[in-house]
């Protein structure tokens, strides 16, 4: 039977030996995430004659990972006290973390597939401070992890009555159809392609597909095809590659957000997601800094939005960003409902009229069009030097498209202030919204370039714990008015946000 061993003399608890599996898997996942960086080393090892050297290298690497995880688990101690959690960790240098429950931001219960037969889970506790203070209690019994989670939740809530998750209200669930739409509209496919191209570029020349090898795999008679046929073949290959990348993106969405369920609990929200390894994330409503609603051009075709509740943001040592709960592929009504639940006094961002947003100065657009014209002139001179007759027309077409896109972005960019809340709209084809309570702004800055000073324009930056909101190219009197209003609001009506 798997248990957490207790040292009665000091009341310090140890982790189960099965925690070695979790930490080993976590280390391997971080290594695979940085596969592009490690590609030259891996390729150099695989160039050795035979499989002896690669096998030894892989075996030594796995043994080192397991040994490090074993030593970390053996040296790990934790102690659950009244209102705080003490943790001692480290192999050669022992560090002690004294985590007060009032600073806890997220409590996540992760249920990896390899722990399910054992009835074990991993509890992740994220604080509002440095990412170094994140605590992971791996391989706990399910009931023990739930006990710790409820203890933390009850200590953070004035009404510590009943916070059982099964009594919470289910706000929204996501079906496979919704996740397919999210996968099609997300950028995960392009990230996979970029990573593949990075690894491919590091491969030896002998492994890369050269011109002769490429010609050899083409069907007979392709080279004798007409220009129109060649264009059609290239289009089909491009379409096939796009379909493959979209399929990978959909698969990633199904695995990450499978069985998604968002519940309303007493002090915030509880989300469960993951098709293979289930992850539970608890977000305290008071700690939500901004609500972000995003929609790209594919999501616009399906009339869907991705809604994110952003908290205090910091980056983990492995490069992961924490502090965000994302609800994928929701409809307009669902988006407005989620925003109103997270920020009850905030106005509806999506359904509000365009004229209610204050536009930025035309200088924002003129500056970008000027730079675009300069780049077009340089590219045109280079194209004419190469005597390419088709280049000027192609460059003109591309420049016109970019100019139209810049005009569209300027038309959509705007902001609105309603009482304590700021709404910023942006986008190109789809619309993006950022809703932020002004009383949570930590710092306000006004920035001017020499050219902007001559036109009495300024950039207004509002710093929150989750992101920086920029209102560019505002008339100087208007920027000062907004900045003074935000500062007076913070001073006159301070509210808790931690």
- How do the domains of the chain map onto residue ranges? 6-167, 178-257, 288-360+413-492, 363-410
Is residue 21 pLDDT above 80, yes or no? yes
Q: How confident is the model at residue 321 (pLDDT cuts 50, 70, 90)?
A: very low
Q: How confident is the model at residue 7 (pLDDT cuts 50, 70, 90)?
A: very low
Q: In the prediction, which pLDDT does 345 show? A: 84
Query: Which among 107, 165, 167 is positioned nearest to 137, based on CA atoms?
Result: 107
Do the beta carbons of residue 440 and residue 465 sit within 8 Å?
Answer: yes
CA angle 288, 125, 150 (to 5 degrees): 85
The predicted model gives 117-122 an average pLDDT of 90
* SS3 state at 119: coil
Mean pLDDT (the chain, rounded):
81
Do the beta carbons of residue 107 and residue 272 sit within 8 Å?
Answer: no
Is residue 2 pLDDT above 50, yes or no? no
Q: In the prediction, which pLDDT does 387 show? A: 61
Residue tagged 């957000």 (tokens): 257
Q: How confident is the model at residue 361 (pLDDT cuts 50, 70, 90)?
A: very high
Q: In the prediction, which pLDDT does 462 show? A: 95
Pick the residue with more confidence: 115 or 188? Answer: 115
Do the beta carbons of residue 457 and residue 472 sit within 8 Å?
Answer: no
pLDDT-wise least confident of 126-135, 184-193, 211-220: 211-220
Q: How confident is the model at residue 165 (pLDDT cuts 50, 70, 90)?
A: very low
DSSP annotation string for 202-246 = HS-TTTS--HHHHHHHSPTTSTTS-HHHHHHHHHHHHHHHHHHHH
pLDDT-wise least confident of 97-101, 149-153, 192-196, 441-445: 192-196
The predicted model gives 339-344 an average pLDDT of 90
- What is the separation of C-alpha 300 from the centre of its chain, rounded to a whole number of angstroms? 20
**Alpha helices of 332-462 — where are they, by DSSP H?**
332-342, 363-385, 391-412, 450-454
**Percent of the chain beyond pLDDT 70?**
78
Residues 271-317 have pLDDT tens digits of 999 888 888 888 888 889 999 999 988 889 999 999 999 987 654 43
Is residue 393 pLDDT above 60, yes or no? yes
Is residue 162 pLDDT above 50, yes or no? no
Q: In the prediction, which pLDDT does 474 show? A: 95
Q: In the prediction, which pLDDT does 454 show? A: 92
pLDDT-wise least confident of 22-31, 59-68, 469-478: 22-31
Q: In the prediction, which pLDDT does 107 show? A: 83
User: For the purposes of burial, counting CB atoms within 10 Å of the CB of 208, is it exposed (0-12), middle (13-18) or buried (19 or more)?
Assistant: exposed
Is residue 10 pLDDT above 60, yes or no? no
Most confident of 88-92, 203-207, 413-417: 413-417
Q: How confident is the model at residue 247 (pLDDT cuts 50, 70, 90)?
A: confident
Residues 408-444 have pLDDT tens digits of 999 999 999 998 999 999 999 999 999 999 999 999 9
Q: In the prediction, which pLDDT does 214 show? A: 57
Is residue 202 pLDDT above 60, yes or no? no
pTM: 0.74
Count Cβ atoms below 10 Å from residue 369 Cβ, excluding itself: 16
For 95, left (φ over 0), alpha (ψ -120 to 50), or beta? Answer: beta
Q: How confident is the model at residue 5 (pLDDT cuts 50, 70, 90)?
A: very low
Distance between CA atoms of residues 199 and 237, nearest Å: 21
Distance between CA atoms of residues 346 and 315, nearest Å: 28
Is residue 222 pLDDT above 90, yes or no? no
Query: Which among 430, 442, 440, 434 is positioned nearest to 416, based on CA atoms?
Result: 434
pLDDT-wise least confident of 101-110, 186-195, 417-426: 186-195
Q: In the prediction, which pLDDT does 190 show? A: 60
Question: Who contacts 296 (Cβ-Cβ below 8 Å, separation ≥6)?
Answer: 185, 429, 430
Question: Who contacts 332 (Cβ-Cβ below 8 Å, separation ≥6)?
Answer: 303, 305, 350, 351
Strands (E), 43-187: 77-81, 84-89, 95-100, 104-111, 120-127, 135-141, 169-173
pLDDT-wise least confident of 173-182, 207-216, 303-312, 357-366: 207-216
The domain 6-167 having CATH identifier 1.10.10.10: the answer here is no
The predicted model gives 471-492 an average pLDDT of 92
pLDDT-wise least confident of 98-102, 169-173, 414-418: 98-102
Q: In the prediction, which pLDDT does 54 show? A: 73
Q: In the prediction, which pLDDT does 319 show? A: 36
Q: In the prediction, which pLDDT does 233 show? A: 74
- Count helices and strands (H / E) in the chain: 14, 22
CA angle 404, 407, 410 (to 5 degrees): 150
Is residue 42 pLDDT above 90, yes or no? no
């Amino acid at each position: 039977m798997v248990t957490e061993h207790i040292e009665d003399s000091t009341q310090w608890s140890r982790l189960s030996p099965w925690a070695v599996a979790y930490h080993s898997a976590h280390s391997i996942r971080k290594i695979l995430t940085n596969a592009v960086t490690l590609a030259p080393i891996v390729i150099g090892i695989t160039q050795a004659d035979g499989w002896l050297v690669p096998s030894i290298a892989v075996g030594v690497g796995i043994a080192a990972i397991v040994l490090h995880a074993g030593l970390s688990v053996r040296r790990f101690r934790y102690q659950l006290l009244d209102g705080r959690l003490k943790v001692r960790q480290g192999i050669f240098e022992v560090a002690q973390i004294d985590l007060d429950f009032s600073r806890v931001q997220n409590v996540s219960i992760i249920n990896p597939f390899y722990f399910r037969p054992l009835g074990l889970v991993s509890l992740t506790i994220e604080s509002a401070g440095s990412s170094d203070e994140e605590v992971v209690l791996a391989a706990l019994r399910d009931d023990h992890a739930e006990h710790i989670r409820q203890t933390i939740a009850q200590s953070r809530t004035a009404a510590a009555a009943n916070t059982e998750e099964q009594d919470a209200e289910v706000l929204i669930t996501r079906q496979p159809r919704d996740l397919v739409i999210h996968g099609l509209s997300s950028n995960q496919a392009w990230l996979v392609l970029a990573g593949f191209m990075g690894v491919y570029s590091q491969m030896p020349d002998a492994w890369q597909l050269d011109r002769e090898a490429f010609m050899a795999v083409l069907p007979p008679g392709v080279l004798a095809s007409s220009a129109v046929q060649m264009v059609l073949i290239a289009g089909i290959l491009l379409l096939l590659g796009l379909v493959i990348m979209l399929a990978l993106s959909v698969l990633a969405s199904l695995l990450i957000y499978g069985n998604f369920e968002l519940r309303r609990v007493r002090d915030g929200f509880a989300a469960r997601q993951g098709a293979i390894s289930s992850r539970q994330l608890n977000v305290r409503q008071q700690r939500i800094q901004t609500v972000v609603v995003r929609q790209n051009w594919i999501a616009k075709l399906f009339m869907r939005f991705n809604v994110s509740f952003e908290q205090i943001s910091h980056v983990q040592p492995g490069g992961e960003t924490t502090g965000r709960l994302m609800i994928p592929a929701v409809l307009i009504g669902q988006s407005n409902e989620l925003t109103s639940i997270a920020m009850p006094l905030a106005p509806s961002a999506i359904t509000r009229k365009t004229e209610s947003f204050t536009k930025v100065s035309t200088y924002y657009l003129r500056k970008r069009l000027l730079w675009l014209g300069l780049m077009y002139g340089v590219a045109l001179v280079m194209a004419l030097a190469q005597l390419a007759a088709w280049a000027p027309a192609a460059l003109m077409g591309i420049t016109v498209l970019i100019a139209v896109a810049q005009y569209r972005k300027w038309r959509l960019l705007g902001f609105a202030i309603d009482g304590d809340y700021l709404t910023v709209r942006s986008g190109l084809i789809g619309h993006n919204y950022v809703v932020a309570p002004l009383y949570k702004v930590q710092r306000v800055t006004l920035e001017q370039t020499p050219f902007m000073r001559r036109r009495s324009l300024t950039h207004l930056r509002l710093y929150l714990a989750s992101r920086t909101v920029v209102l560019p190219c505002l008339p100087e009197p208007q920027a000062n008015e907004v900045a003074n209003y935000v500062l007076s609001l913070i001073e006159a009506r301070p509210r808790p946000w931690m």
